[in-house]
Structures are given as C-alpha cells and as structure tokens.
A and B are shown apart, each in its own frame.
Chain A
Amino acid sequence: MSTPDKPTHGGARPGSGRLQREPSKVVRLPVSLVPTMQALIATRDFPGGAMLPHPGASRILRPLLGHKVQAGFPSPADDYVEAWLDLNEHLIEHKDATFFVQATGDSMTGAGIQEGNLLVVDRALEARHGDIVIAVIDGDLTVKRLEKRRGRIRLVAENPAYAPIEFTEGQELTIWGVVTSVIQRIKR
C-alpha cells in the first residue's frame, strides 16, 4: 500500500534501531559482576526485587521426597519417608571382601545351586562346619559344603553322584570364601 506523498523506499524502518521505550545509560562495572549483569539483562522482564543465582553458586543436594507438594495439607507420610531398598545392602555385609562367582556343573544341586547361578561370596567370614564354601582344589575354585567333625575335614558335594573329598592331617585346605547367597534368575 502506498500513497503519492509517502515514498516506499528508503527511510526508517519500523522496529529498527535502539529501543525507544526509555533512555539508556553507560555504566562501569567490576569485571567479576559482568556475567551476573548479563544474566540479569537477559531475563529482562524479571519482577522487581527478584534475586538471581550467583553464576558460581555451589550445589546443595536435598533428599527427594516421594509426594507432591500440596498447599494447605502437608502429606501425612512426610515423617515416614524411607530410603529405597538396596539389594546390595541386603546381600552384602562386607563390601571390600565380597565377590560374585558363577556356578557351573551340578555337584551342588541338592543345596539349590544350579548351573549358571550367581553366588555371593564373602571372604571376611571364617568358614564353619556346614557352610557352603569356595575352596581351592588342585588350583581350581570349587563350591562344596564344608564338614568339620571330630578333627575330620571334608568337602561334600550335594549330589550323590560325587564323592566327598577328604582331607587328612598335613593336607592343606585353602578356603577362598563363604557363600552367603545364591541368585537364580527365573527364565521367561
């Protein structure tokens, strides 16, 4: 749309140039304040009296509560927030001494240990009679039940197909650790 007395080319374009809302002013700032001021300017429409975060602010972690904030009615569960259940905590008593191993073979099926099961082994425990242990036999790691009775030490399989291993006086038995849990995944 054009009129004869208003040229369509050249001249000021609407919206160009400095904003004319109000006059501006040059300010000197300490260098360290520049980022803060820039952040302040970037927000432009900040409400009067608003506080801006310091650019180098430290973080403080707060526990995440399990309910939504409801104005007026505090959750009755507020004082009952508990930690998430952690299986590590349940299965592991001595973190530095606990190792996972994988069972192979069928020598301990009678004790509920199947091929492929994950065994939690705690090396901090002193092996006692009746414990399921990891022992070193001929340089290999093996899982068996430990029997210590009347001075007799045996490693017993929980499967009649395997004979117990007897230790006589002078023969050294190295116990690698004590099995504290068997973890079996259900196939689906």
Chain B
Amino acid sequence: MSFALVDGNNFYVSCERVFNPQLEGRPVVVLSNNDGCVVARSAEVKALGVKMGVPWFQLKDLAVRHGILALSSNYTLYADMSNRMMGVISRYSPSQEIYSIDECFLGLDGFPADGLAEMGQRIRQQVRQWVGIPVCVGIAPTKTLAKLANHCAKKNQAGTDSVCDLGRLAADDLTALFERIEVGEVWGVGRRLSEQLAGMGITTVRALRDADAALIRREFSVVLERTVQELRGVSCLALEEVAPNKQQIMASRSFGEYVYALTDLEEAVSTYIARAAEKLRRQHSLANAVQVYIRTNPFSEKQPQYQRGITVPLTHATSDTMRLTRAVLWGLKRIYRPGFAYQKAGVMLMDLHGEDQAQGVLFAVSAPARPVLMDVIDRANARWGRGTLKLAAEGVRKPWQMKRERVSPAYTTRWDELPRVN
C-alpha cells in the first residue's frame, strides 16, 4: 500500500496571487463571509503570528503596521482553481480521493517504490506551471502517515523541496522524526484529544504510535486505535473515490446587516432553501423534513437575544423547490418574533433518501412534483449563472445579503471579469 497526499499551500491566497502577482511576497489574508475572520493566511502573515480564525477587526493595528492586505473570500474562483488542480493531479494515478477544496489523496499501489518521491516532484512542478498553485506532497504507506508526511514537507522537517516520502526513511530516522512532532499534528487528533492524551503522557507522534493499542481503544475509541495502527504503517483507511451522498444538506449565512422584518427573513430563507434544494437534486435525493432557524447576534450583549428553530415534516418526500419553500416559510412564520435584530438564518434538509426510494402517500393525493421544471431551473442556472431562474419569494434587492467588500473578480468564470493584460 502507498498513498500520496497533495495539498495546496495557503490555497486561497495562492489562487488570488495567480491573477494578481502584486500580492506575491506580501502579507495577505482572506476573510470569511461578511469579512469577519481570517480563513487563509500567506506565509508572511503566519510568520507574524496571526492565527487562523482571528476576527479581522482585532488585526487592524497589526495590519497597518505590516501592510497586511485583506481580501474577501472568492469561492467561485477557488472552486474553479481547485477543479483545475485536481484535474492535473488525477493524471498521476487511476485512483484519487478529493478530500477537500485544496487537498486530495492518490492511491499509488503498484507504483515502483523508489520512484514515488520523484513523481511527487513532477506533480508539484506540473501543478505549479499549469495552474499556478504551489503544493506539497506527502507519501507514505497509510493515509494517516501520508497526511503527516505532507505536514513534514510543508514544515521542511523531512523530505526535500516540499516532497516527503516517509516510506523511504530508515526506521530509526522515522522514530527520531516522530519524536519531534507533537501529537496534535496527527490526522484526527484535535485539541481536546491532544489534552486528554497529554494526561496519559502521550505528547508526541512517537508516543502515540508506540502506545498500547488495546488501551487506546478502551480509553478513547476504535477510531483512535485505527490511527495508532495507521501510524505503525498498517493501512486501515481506504481511498473514498466517490464522495458519499450527504445525509443532510445545510444552507445558512449571516446577514450583511441586521434584519428586522419578516419579509426580509422570508427572502433570505427562500434563497437558502433554493440553493439547498439544488444540491439535493444534484445528488438525486428527496427530503422528508426541513428545518429552519433564525438567531440574533450572540456577541452583541446589549441587544435582546432570541434564537429558535423548527423542524417541518413533509407529508411527501420531495426535492421540489416550491414545496420546500412553502414548508420553510410556514415554519419561519411560527418562530419569527418581531422586535429582534436578526443576524443569521439557515435551513437544513433532513431525513434524505434516494429518488428511487420514494414512498407513496396514504391519506392524501400527492401533489404533482415538477421534475421537468426543476430540471429546467437547474440547467438555466448552471448555464447562465445562479439566480437566473428563481422564485419571486427570494426577492430582488436582497439588502440582507452578505458583505464582501474586498472581493477579487471572478477571473475564470465570468466573461466581463477576465484578467486584463496590457
């Protein structure tokens, strides 16, 4: 068994730099929706000690002092660049698991072991040239170790030129390396687990690898025991080449400004449910229930607080935007209270199953579903852009829409926003 983990460096920042080379070598952060928190940092920003998730307003002083540039997140651009990057990487192996927007595993069974590091270099070089994104490559006999190898490549703790093949390391060197890495860097070991492990004297990767597997299983879980096995080079996690269908689909956003009126909330919730329903149809599922929730800003202590959610069961499982919209608006009316400054709303489609497993209705005439209409809406929105065809319930002006004041152009997906060359 052998796996590679290919991971884009500071992915969002790197995407921005491809089209705006001015950002090269300068401290850059990308902010979350509504320009709230830091979700991506360039190496220069990391060097200043800025942590992930810090609210932007707390960084204002530091930003002025060091000239940190902040950008709103441009997910349209990042998704397109991700597809390109994954496409290039997929040329190197018949099996690929896209793990997140900026990282993927490759299955390397049957590849000659002495050529893997060199192949890692070729991947790195080709992604850099074709797409413009710098990546690191970790190679090892298990997915957990490949993740760790990638960490080593990134931190320059092992390997060369951003590629690290742990499979080529001698046993003693591997042990010495694992001695130097904190246990919290292991895939699946979060902050809380790290603290608990520290209580047992396990603070390094080496200590976890050499821990009593049966004890780990008893004290923690079979999942962590599997991690121990994977650290020992016993592959327990296979590639998941086809993403499993989602069990629930969520769509929620915080608003660009406070929302007070029911009509504005109705527009927002209708917009979110339309988006969620589109995702539901894409995975060919139906929902049996839908949840809607609204809340005020929990960080604003001066304002009166309110939050409430309601689950609306559906008589007939559906993926029809109109029926789902009617259900969430019904639910919203029941939880809405006037006089509050709402900051966020969300919807969730629940109890999903495949389109082919629909159950008939016993005591009602099933309202006709409109699969053809939904299909037309989805196609039109795919071809001419999101929101081309929508229910009037979504509203037109959408004053509640999130703020992205520093967003870069959709360089690769809109004709009128292409990069300009002189």
Contact surface of A with B, Cβ cutoff 8 Å: 31, 34-35, 56, 94-97, 99-105, 107, 118-119, 123-124, 134, 136, 139-143, 174, 176
Contacts and interface: CB of A to CB of B under 8 A. Distances in A.
Nearest to A126: B129
Contacts of B129: 97, 123-124
A119 B21 CA distance: 19
B421 A134 contact: yes
Interface string B398-416: 0000000000000110010
Contact of A141 (B21, B87, B360): B21
B281 to A, nearest CB: 15
A101 B356 contact: no
A123 B130 contact: yes
Contacts of B132: 123, 176
A56 B356 contact: yes
B22 A139 contact: yes
Contacts of A35: 360
Given A97-B84, A139-B21, 14 more contacts: A31-B360, A35-B360, A97-B131, A99-B411, A101-B420, A104-B420, A104-B421, A107-B422, A123-B130, A124-B129, A134-B421, A140-B21, A143-B421, A174-B21
Contacts, number: 69
A118 B87 CA distance: 24
A142 B421 CA distance: 5
B422 A124 contact: no
B210 interface: no
A136 B21 contact: yes
B174 interface: no
A101 B130 contact: no
Nearest to B130: A97
Interface in B53-92: 83-85, 87-88
Counting from the closest, the 8 A-B pairs by CB-CB distance are A139-B22, A97-B130, A96-B87, A96-B84, A141-B421, A143-B421, A136-B21, A102-B418
Interface string B82-119: 01110110000000000000000000000000000000
A105 B225 CA distance: 63
B421 A34 contact: no
A56 B419 CA distance: 47
Contacts of B88: 96-97
Contacts of B420: 101-104, 141
A165 B131 CA distance: 26
A136 B412 CA distance: 18
B212 interface: no
A62 B32 CA distance: 45
B24 interface: yes
Contact of B419 (A94, A101, A124, A139): A101
A113 B85 CA distance: 30
A101 B418 contact: yes
A102 B422 contact: no
B22 A143 contact: no
B363 to A, nearest CB: 15
B422 A104 contact: yes
A107 B420 CA distance: 14
26 contacts: A94-B130, A95-B87, A96-B83, A96-B84, A97-B84, A97-B88, A99-B419, A100-B418, A101-B418, A101-B419, A101-B420, A101-B421, A102-B418, A102-B420, A104-B421, A105-B422, A118-B418, A119-B421, A123-B132, A136-B21, A141-B21, A141-B419, A141-B420, A141-B421, A142-B421, A176-B21
Contacts of A105: 422
A176 B129 CA distance: 8
A96 B418 contact: no
Given A96-B84, A96-B87, A136-B21, A103 B421 contact: yes
A140 B83 CA distance: 25
A123 to B, nearest CB: 5
A142 B412 CA distance: 17
A110 B418 CA distance: 23
Nearest to A38: B360
Contacts of A124: 129-130
